[in-house]
Structure 1
Amino acid sequence: DEEIVRVLATNGLGSLYAEEIMLNTEISKKTACSALSGEEINIIFNALKSVFEPLEKRQFKPMIVNNEKEVEKLKQENPDKKYKAKEDVISINLSQYEGFEMESFESFNEACDEFYSSKVKSEITGIQEAAWNKKVSKFSKRLEKQEETLHNFEKTIEDSQRKGELLFTNYVQVDNILNVIKGAREKDYGWKDIGKTLKDAKKSGMADAQIFESMDPLGNITLRIDDVSIALDSKKSIPDNAEVYYEKAKKAKRKIKGALIAIENTKRQLADMEAKKEKAMSNIMVPQKRVKKNLKWYEKLRWFVSSDGILVVCGRDAGTNEAVVKKYLEQNDIYLHADIHGAPSVVAKVQSDSLNDNLLKELGEFSASFSSAWSKNFTSQDVYWVEPDQVSKTPVSGEFVPKGAFIIRGHRNYIRGAKLEISIGIVEYDGEKRIMAGPTDAMKHHTNKFVTIKPGFTKKEKIAKEILSRINEDNLLSLDDVVRVLPSGKCDFI
């Protein structure tokens, strides 16, 4: 048989309120359900009603509770034991949180906002701090290594100069050993035999031999003078051996200047990085849920604003193609269409007598780029434009005009070889910042923060992520916002 607290918890109450109910009775929460008497069942039922009575009466007491201070005190009293602080957000007072620190709020929503946002911020802070610490660590480790190198140079200078000086202050003793070696070599003694002879002389108490330590097969000896081991080439004189050490000290001195400059540069870079970290950590914000904004009528279509400030729209599909012509094509506008099957109806809010070469170029690029020429990987496409009264939905006898299609009557004005290329950026238009996809010349006129794409081989979802990372500095856009404005088909950056 299951324990009563488990039955309460698994039947909709959850562990928090199951525990609370049992705390309001004198019955053990581990009592098996089958062992409960009728009276005990009534006691539990009354405790349940008592716990939730404030909710029925709408007597809410939203608060955040925690026992951090109590846990800190326990840790100080028993440092070897592990204690974990508890924190919760509740809408009514619970006896199991008696003695906890409490922070009250006007509403449960406010309490939840504070509780969960602080947790999210703590997590974000941890992640950001780890990332910044990695950057700071790069410079601190470099500085540590450079300072260690500087210390080694200084030690080399000190050691080398001391060894050179010791050779001269003990000149007679060292010279006697070198003369012994030289004399033995003149009598054709080998290095091994000479070394053995010097060791034997040291053991026998010969005064000059007391500084001798060892000899290698090439005739290099090691002497120990004033607890300093000095390596010498026995074939060289004392001044020549001393010069080797003095030259070593000089080289180290020359390197110290560069080491000091490198250390100062690294200290400056480290300070800059720590300042950036401090600024970034102080500016950490809790991400807010993105509120879906109401789109303007033109944002439900494809659109751009020309360099001259002309609004241009086109359909996204058959349904919006119909709307573009029937709802938005007016007498003072012009109608455009790429000369290829599978192209949208384009409406430019400009009179034909106001057209200029630059505007026609922009209109052509926009119309061509959002046609099927993009998915076919074309680099250019012809586009034509006509007056509104040349656009009709009325077919000749025996013809059928499908949804989104129109009949063009009369002369067509062509824009030859319109380039397939679209730029995407955030522009200020109609009182707000909006994402716009249009010709590069138009984009340059409205913003300097944009990217340009062409027909290519990369999935547009991948391209959209990269675009988002490049232009979304103010966190205005979602990935869907970017995908929505891209041409149909794969793309590549220019």
Structure 2
Amino acid sequence: MRNLTSLDIHKLLEEIAYINNGFIRNIKSSKNELYFLIYRGKEYWLKIVPGNYFCITDEKPVDTIDFGFTTILKNALKGKKADISMHNSDRILEIKTDKNTLVIEMFSKGNVILLNNGIVERALFQRSFESRVIESGKEYIYPLGGKPDFPKMYENFSEILLFSNKENLVKTLAIDFAIGGNYAEEVCFRAEVDKTKKSSELNKEEIEKLKETFKEILAETQPNIINEETFSVIRLKHLEGERKYFDSINEAVKEFFEKEDEIKNGYNPIKIEVNKAKEKVGEYQKQIDYINDNYEDINKAIAVIKNSSRSIAERQEILKNLGFESKGKNLVVYAIPNLEIDITNDLRYTLSTLYNKAKRLKKVDVDKIKTNVIKVRRLKVITGNEWYSKFRFFSTSLNKLCIIGKDVNQNESLIQKHAEKGDIVGHADVFGSPFGVIKTGNAETKEVELEEMATMIASYSSAWRAGATNLDVYFVNPEQVTKTPPSGESLKKGAFYIEGKRKYIKNSSLGIYLSFDIREDSVKISVTPYQPDKPFIFLRPGNKKRDEITRKINRALSQKYGFEVNADYIDRLIPQGKSTIEKIRLL
């Protein structure tokens, strides 16, 4: 079974540190998997497969089973603020709350142990070894031979190396430095030191080269998969083969380990698509059979709807007794799911339409499905390296740079460091609004540009989460924005006091366009308040969760162009709260 090395775990934990200090809202389990719903500004599902891997997953777990052990974990951890860390450089995760520590052993067959002040409260598996016993009521003893954390190993690199009694250098690096075989081979390769040498045979220059190379791989992050069979968090120069690179370690882990789970569990994407087509054919056939068998009753129901001499309530009561319901211009059939008959069309036309849909699906092109499934690839997202790239930004339709803060820290920085004389500062008339700055370059700013900036500020305010469609936004000069409130008042971080007259843009509509500038092996995604001349997807406040919107966007891209992008990146562009996709134009 494939599993994460200590170095993989170390780097992945650094990457997902944004979930630390979050609240555990729920815990679910499925087969050998544990899922932790962690809230820190937004919800994240942390998936852990003991003895194997862990990652942040976009999907809410399905087919979960609450075992007795899961219930115990919920009682101990649910609602608690938690941090996830690694025990030294061991392949052991620790989820710590104010009272408990949950130990997840990521080696061998894996285990999950709930501790209270170092004492085992409950273990998923009670086990006995020569050097330790995992049993309720006993002290939890970490495996013998544990190593210090990676920074300490770097500090004491020479001592650890020279005191090793392993038969060769590559084994010393793999075991005594806890980095595993592939990374040990890579250190030897980059340092140009013979891996078959014993540690005691190394000279001072070789030791120094090895130490600096060890530091180099600790600092490097370049997640990739080689030949679909080797996962690495750095570029393994000593290995040849086709490489697939990822924007994050988390995405690479999901691709590599979850694909193995799918293969192991008999997942076949082509078969799934074919089965979907067959199921749809069956659904259409049931609808066709129902209409043929109930042709007269359906026509009677349509006549009832069109009979304006009766009240709506009377017509609905008659329809209900017949097994129907009126919904706009459609006749809803209770007995058959998803069957809505357009009463403005002849019933024979409805039958003909269903026949044609079923006929097309019966001729399902397996080769085409196979091509579509296989060709979907992950494109790298192009990100800027300008000083304002860390903020939200766009250019107006007249080409002025507009910058918007993402949080209170960025609001503070944007106003105090980057708002210059002649610029225009914007803010929505609602608590929870970002500040925005139009960089005018001392040129006149047109009304349309203020309207565009107002739309963006309103869209990234708390109004989106509230489901609002319009919001007032005002604009002032930078000199009117101060950190000095009137006497007796105070300001929180990221807040400012506005002096003097404000220019309002009333009823600014909420909505953003995500546009896609597609290159050969990369894509640039921009956000604008106006319709771009590139392929785009238009979002407005709605009733769909962020992860569902993200999946729909990637599905649309994969179906049209055969690629997806990092879901985390799309998620960062979407305003907080629920949304709806109002328009898609992919050329």
Identify the TM-score tier after normalising by the shorter chain. 0.3 to 0.5
Higher helix share: 1
Highest CA radius of gyration, 1 or 2? 1
* TM-score in terms of structure 1 length: 0.44
Q: Which has the higher strand share?
A: 2
Q: What TM-score, normalized by structure 2, do the two folds share?
A: 0.38
